[in-house]
Amino acid sequence: MSSEALRHVAIIMDGNNRWAKREGKQGILGHRAGVERIRDVLEVCRKNHVEVLTVFAFSSENWRRPPKEVEALMGLFYSYLKREARRLAEERVRLKVIGNRSRFSESLLRAIEEAEATACVGDSTLVIAADYGGQWDVAQSARKLAEEVVEGRLSLDEVDASAIDRHMSTQDLPPLDLLVRTGGEFRISNFLLWQAAYAELYFSPLLWPEFDGVAMEEAIADFYQRQRRFGRTGDQLAQGTFSA
């Protein structure tokens, strides 16, 4: 069983449209129902001393969806930021938005900046990944490192994993421990590719609007039943015969 404290949980919130279709509702109502689950899951994470919850709200590939759905999702994101920032601040939850912001409207950019400024200090952190892709994240880190090399601020010998990590969008957060995906799919869909290198993966058959606090508790309990070896053997961990 894991003796490592669970500090950072990330969730691919999949199944909103399928839930809405099953319930005979419009797709956007599934996304609205899904927004409510964030509050429940965040509460459970905080109760279990999880420092960071990162949720995959909108991927780089989601721009390919029908324009009306994209517009509705952007509106839902905007209203969430406006509605939740003050509550998060009152509950001492820091808000951080990661992703490529170049395609957002000016009004949404202002809402993001205002929300981050309002909920800027806390005992825990809610990270919203919007217009985010794992490949984009690695590429933008590599680009920043290349600029440092070209400008003479970094040598090629200094380009290593820690240098890449320093420029990732999650560089100020603890390492990812647990990656959860709802909806019954078994893939990570270009989410936190670099960060998930040693994360535990947990796949739930529940559609995201069904994934409540009880389901989150079960995912956390499952994490603590696993043995995290990080390249070592189980015997080494049991005997403590390894160096840091």
Give the residue ranges of DSSP H helices in 122-233.
Answer: 134-150, 161-166, 213-223
Which of 14, 131, 137, 177 is an active site residue? Answer: 14
Decide if 88 contacts 122 (C-beta within 8 A): yes
Inter-residue contact 142 to 168 (CB < 8 Å):
no
* pTM confidence score: 0.91
Indicate the residue type of 223.
F
In this prediction, the residues of the chain whose per-residue pLDDT falls under 70 are 1-3, 229-244
**Is 173 within 8 Å of 125 (Cβ atoms)?**
yes
- In the prediction, which pLDDT does 169 show? 98
Tally the C-alpha atoms within 13 A of residue 38's C-alpha that lie toward its C-beta: 28
Catalytic annotation on 17? Answer: no
pLDDT at 242: 54
Catalytic residue among 40, 48, 62, 212: 62
Query: Could you state, in order of their start, the residue ranges of all structural domains in the chain?
Result: 13-133+169-224, 134-168
**pLDDT of the residue at 4:** 82
Q: What angle separates helix 67-90 from helix 27-47, to the nearest 10 degrees?
A: 30
Residue 227, pLDDT score? 85
Structure confidence at residue 235 (pLDDT): 57
SS3 content of the chain, % helix, strand, coil (to 5): 50, 15, 35
The pLDDT value recorded for residue 3 is: 63
Q: Is 131 a catalytic residue?
A: no
pLDDT of 76: 97
Superfamily of domain 13-133+169-224: Decaprenyl diphosphate synthase-like (3.40.1180.10)
Encode pLDDT of 26-38 as tens digits: 999 999 999 999 9
Counting Cβ atoms within 10 Å, is residue 67 exposed (0-12), middle (13-18) or buried (19+)?
A: exposed
Provide the pLDDT for residue 228. 75
How many alpha carbons lie under 13 Å from residue 59 in its C-beta half-sphere?
Answer: 17
